[in-house]
């Protein structure tokens, strides 16, 4: 039975992408060699890397606007460090909306003065802080667009005169935004883009080269840009599968088209969470709810076993909430079909009928 | 036609490993989910990571000797930096045997005093320096066991009283050594271990925690050890394929058995290079020759087109030398069968007959 995969990440990828990826591991490009046993400097793979970089900029509407796309290693966790290494000369402003923001702050604060402009740590990150002030004399402002663990999402971004850096690991390519508001966007691949093992960085070149410290080669965005994202051997397979997923997105109408479907999926599930008397959403304010990760709880603990049995029997996978929140989390990334959400809603209604 | 893959890396992997890897991309562990769309915290993947770490130590004979194995991201290039960050307090001694040693030196010298104890840069790295002195007051000694680009290999390692660090990216698991002589071994996966995208680090825990500087989390070996190599989302597919390759090595008799075959392959090719009047080896001293990468030149440039046509027609792939050496390079990693080397030798002999 095909699973309904609500995993928070690594997560569901389009089945056509998985088929092409498996096929390339056997025989890539009809060359009778596996994708993973050819040189990363060979023409077929250089084409993959270039196509992936181009598609990333295209989906964000950032072509010919001074941005470069890189596929690096180390996940968002290494970007927490690289952002500070490359941009933090004196002080930086961070918005703290969850576990990942907190980790970004922890790594950056060793590089200069840290100004936490807002935080929802007081309520286990169940809301997005509003009306915070960003000083104009900081080197940059950093935020996290979607908080996978808590199920909150920034619906708008401040207008700032300083560079804006955003960790979009868990909602990149899921909705239309004016991405030119951002000067540096980074995202681990393993949600909407591909398998774990590569990280997309999209950076406006003009913000680089302004700190005085020595930057080690592997942590220097300028080094990676100068080598077209091939300073060292890239993560060949993760980059290839990311390219396939970005192609799939394009074939399916791009970010605008997928956003329409994502909105339908989120509306279907949140309507049920709000309607069904057995469930309650975790996020305090409805306007802060994430369209990628819906966090919710059963109001009666006694129903847990029955609910878990029902959704497991329906072929649903990955619904358990993160340990820091508990309850349930339904992650509805781009590749999750609307039908899977319907299956979950059906199970929630079945529980209500049985209860 | 199946290719004879002499690529320098990413390079040939066992065909049984490629089959299993492709299959796991479709359906892993009979769970009706792809390997690349499940949580890295799920039991099936945690088992993969633990098995890979265990097999790495087992093949090196380093179980229960105070070592930990980690599968990190960023390639050897990030290790150049991490080694210095974690170990270099005042000064370090490096042996410079090629491009990768030079890069390791370039990254480390920002962290303390750099003592280059020996170098073969004077002869385009066509030999391994001997009789160099390693000061006893350095924090560690660093060397590169095999030089992929130049085709040289260290046949012995110094006895030192300080920690010894070795970049074994291109010959790990290819020969039996007393690996307990080393305190830290690192290797990008993409030669004898797996696809690009993960790096094996084997480190003796007691050498860590001795520098006074702040180490960022992602660069701190102690952090990765404390999280069982899962501090952040690992490169799931590269780690899985590395585990499969380490299993394959075990099923085929381990490092000792593969060394016997590697010796046969190297002897077959070097004998032909030395016998055939049309060819000349690049490495100055025969005892410094690499059993992984044989570098050689045609003595008459006029025969290049004919030779290239012949080996291409024989299904040979990846034989062009690196741009800094020129000529040819035959990489004979663990997964390359003896028959492929015979095909190359046959082509060299055919060229001689025709010439």
* Among B10, B22, B34, beta carbon nearest to A236: B10
| Catalytic-labelled residue, pool A68, A139, A167, A291 | A167
DSSP, collapsed to helix, strand or coil, labels residue A44 as helix
CA distance A71 to A245: 14
Quick one: angle between helices A304-313 and A338-354, nearest 10? 140
**A221-249: per-residue pLDDT in tens?**
999 999 999 999 999 999 999 999 999 99
Q: Are the C-beta atoms of A213 and A257 separated by less than 8 Å? A: no
Distance from CA of B21 to the nearest CA of A (A): 7
* Cβ contact A321:A295 at 8 Å: yes
Active site residue B100: yes
How far is CA B74 from its chain centroid?
14
The band of A355, judged by pLDDT with boundaries at 50, 70 and 90, is confident
Residue A151, pLDDT above cutoff 90: yes
Compute φ and ψ for B216, nearest 5 degrees. -60, 145
- Block residue for tokens 């084409």: A47
In DSSP terms, which residues pair with B295 in a beta bridge? B329
Residue percentage of chain A with pLDDT more than 70:
100
Given the cut 0.90, state whether the ipTM is greater than it. yes
- Please indicate if any CB of chain A lies within 8 Å of the CB of B36: yes
Are the Cβ atoms of B74 and A73 closer than 8 angstroms? yes
Length of chain B measured in residues? 355
pLDDT at B2: 78
Q: Quick one: pLDDT at residue A2?
A: 79
Helix (H, G, I), strand (E, B) or coil at B311: helix
Assign 3-class secondary structure to B151-215. Answer: CEECCCCCCCCCCEEEECCCCCCCCCCCHHHCCEEEEECCCCCCCCCCEEEEEEHHHCCCCCCCC
* Residue B329, phi then psi, degrees to nearest 5: -140, 120
* Mean pLDDT confidence for A301-321: 97
Average pLDDT value for chain A: 97
- Contacts with B, A 38-57, CB within 8 Å: 38-40
Contact check, Cβ <8 Å, A236/B196: yes
Residues of A with Cβ-Cβ distance to B196 under 8 angstroms: 36, 40, 233-237
Contact between chains at A235 and B197 (C-beta distance less than 8 A): yes
B3 within 8 A of B339, measured Cβ to Cβ: no
Task: Measure A113 CA to nearest chain B CA, in Å.
Answer: 16
Give burial (CB, 10 Å; 0-12/13-18/19+) of A257. middle
CA atoms within 13 A on the CB side of A253: 10
Instruction: Given the residues A68, A100, A183, A220, select the one marked as catalytic.
Output: A100
- A209 closest CA partner among A142, A163, A157: A163
Q: Does B314 touch chain A (CB under 8 A)?
A: no
CA distance A191 to A170: 6
Judged by CB atoms closer than 8 Å, whether chains meet at A107 and B13 is answered as no
d(CA B49, CA B317): 32
Buried (b) or exposed (e) across B86-122, using 16+ Cβ within 10 A?
bbbeeebbbbbbbbbbbbbbebbbebbebbbbbbbee
B13 touches chain A (CB under 8 A): yes
Q: How far is C-alpha B270 from the geometric centre of its chain's CA atoms?
A: 20
CB B71 within 8 A of CB B198: yes
The percentage of chain A sitting over the pLDDT mark of 90, rounded to a whole number, equals 99
Q: Is it true that domain B15-251 has CATH number 3.40.640.10?
A: yes
- B350, exposed or middle or buried, with CB in 10 Å at 0-12, 13-18, 19+? middle
Q: What is the mean pLDDT of residues A280-299?
A: 98
Location of structure tokens 């369209």? A291
Which of B3, B21, B190 is the closest to A233 by Cβ?
Answer: B190
* Domain B254-354: CATH class, spelled out: alpha beta
What is the rounded average pLDDT of the residues A118-126? 98
Domain boundaries, chain A: 15-251, 254-354
Whether residue A200 has pLDDT greater than 80? yes
C-alpha B331/C-alpha B104 separation (Å) is: 22
Check CB contact of B112 with chain A, cutoff 8 Å: no
How far is the CA of A142 from the CAs of A80, A128, A134, B275, in angstroms? 10, 14, 10, 64
| SS3 label, residue A186 | strand
Give Cα B261 to chain centroid, integer Å. Answer: 17
SS3 of residue A10 by DSSP: coil
Give the residue on B whose Cα is nearest the Cα of A14.
B37
Average pLDDT of each block of 10 consecutive residues along chain B (355 residues)? 92 97 96 96 97 98 98 98 98 98 98 98 98 97 98 97 98 98 98 98 98 98 98 98 98 98 98 98 98 97 97 97 95 98 98 94
Q: Looking at residue B198, what is its pLDDT?
A: 98
Distances (CA, A) of A21 to A219, B17, B32, B256, B350: 29, 15, 16, 34, 39
């Amino acid at each position: 039975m095909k699973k309904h995969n609500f995993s928070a990440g690594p997560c569901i990828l389009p089945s056509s992408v998985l088929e092409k990826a498996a096929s390339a591991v056997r025989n890539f490009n009809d060359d009778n060699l596996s994708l993973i046993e050819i040189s990363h400097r060979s023409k077929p793979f250089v084409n993959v890397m270039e196509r992936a970089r181009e598609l990333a900029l295209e989906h964000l509407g950032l072509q010919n606007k001074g941005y470069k796309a890189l596929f690096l290693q180390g996940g968002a966790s290494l970007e927490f460090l690289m952002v500070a290494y490359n941009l933090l000369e004196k002080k930086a402003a961070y918005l703290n909306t969850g576990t990942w923001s907190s980790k970004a702050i922890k790594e950056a604060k060793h590089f200069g003065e840290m100004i936490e402009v807002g935080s929802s740590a007081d309520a286990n990150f169940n809301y997005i802080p509003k009306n915070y002030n960003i000083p104009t004399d900081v080197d940059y402002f950093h935020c996290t667009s979607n908080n996978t663990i808590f199920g909150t999402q920034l619906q708008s971004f401040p207008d700032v005169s300083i560079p804006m850096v955003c960790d979009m690991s868990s909602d990149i390519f899921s909705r239309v935004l004016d991405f030119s508001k951002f000067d540096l966007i980074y995202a681990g691949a393993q949600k909407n883009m591909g398998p774990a093992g590569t990280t997309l960085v999209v950076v406006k070149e003009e913000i680089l080269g302004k700190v005085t410290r020595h930057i080690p080669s592997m942590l220097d965005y300028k080094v990676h840009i100068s080598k077209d994202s091939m300073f060292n051997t890239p993560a060949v397979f993760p980059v290839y599968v990311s390219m396939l997923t970005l192609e799939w997105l394009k074939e399916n109408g791009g970010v605008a088209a997928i956003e329409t479907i994502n909105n339908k999926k989120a509306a279907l599930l949140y309507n049920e969470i709000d309607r069904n008397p057995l469930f309650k959403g975790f996020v305090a304010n409805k306007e802060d709810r994430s369209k990628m990760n819906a966090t919710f709880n059963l109001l009666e603990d006694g129903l847990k076993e029955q609910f878990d049995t029902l959704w497991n029997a329906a072929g649903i996978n990955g619904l358990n909430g993160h340990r820091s929140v508990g309850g349930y989390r339904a992650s509805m990334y781009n590749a999750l079909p609307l039908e899977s959400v319907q299956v979950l809603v059906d199970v929630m209604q079945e529980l209500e009928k049985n209860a």
